[in-house]
Structure 1
Amino acid sequence: MSETRTRAHVFVSGTVQGVFYRASTRDAARERGVRGWVRNLDDGRVEAVFEGPESAVDSLIEWCHTGSPDASVSDVSVSYTEPEGIDGFHIRR
């Protein structure tokens, strides 16, 4: 039986830009087999969409609370929707 797939829309606040947060998120996602994308927002937050097996997405969301070594995360906001079938994991600019 295959695990339920999910899609999480994530916003991360704190010192998360200029600290390799996006690249680290991409690497962490690929390690977990999660698909999606990540990008910086003009307001200083990072936005991401994760799709994959529920346990892998949950693991990546947990990782987001710490993030890259130089990040200082103050908040992680998550909402869930139906997966759309994203291919790969990309950094959006």
Structure 2
Amino acid sequence: MNDNVRLTAWVRGRVQGVGFRWWTRATALEIGGLGGYAGNLEDGRVQIVAEGDRERCERLLDWLRTGDTPGRVDGVTEIWGVSRGGYRGFELR
């Protein structure tokens, strides 16, 4: 049984220009087993797409919400879906 999922999260606050994407990538690599990316959006938010098993994606989401992140996180919105695959590692965009 494939229990891989796709987490898409949008993080708002002071999250651009403060190392937030780098921190997210480092956290995803520390958790391990996640593919995807973190990228800046024009409206000042950071979008994160992570694929892997649900427990690991939930750990990343918890870190986004409660971790000692760079900048300031005012809120995180997420949606869950089916893993689409195609990612090799976790990258910055």
TM-score of the alignment, normalized to the shorter chain, above 0.5: yes
- SS of alignment partner, residue 70 of structure 1: coil
Structure 2 residue aligned with 1:87: 88
Q: Which residue of 1 aligns with 2:52?
A: 52
Structure 1: stretches of 5+ with no match in the other structure: none
* Number of equivalenced pairs: 91
CA drift of 1:66 comes to: 4.0
Deviation at 1:53, TM superposition (A): 1.1
Alignment RMSD (CA, Å):
1.6
The TM-score normalised by the length of structure 1 is 0.89
Query: CA, structure 1 residues 69+8, in 2 after alignment: closer, same or farther (shift >3 Å)?
Result: closer
Which residue does 2:18 correspond to in 1?
19
Structure-1 separation of matches of 2:31 and 2:2? 14
SS of 2:58's equivalent in the other structure is helix
Structure 2 unaligned runs (5+)? none
Length-normalised TM-score, structure 2: 0.89
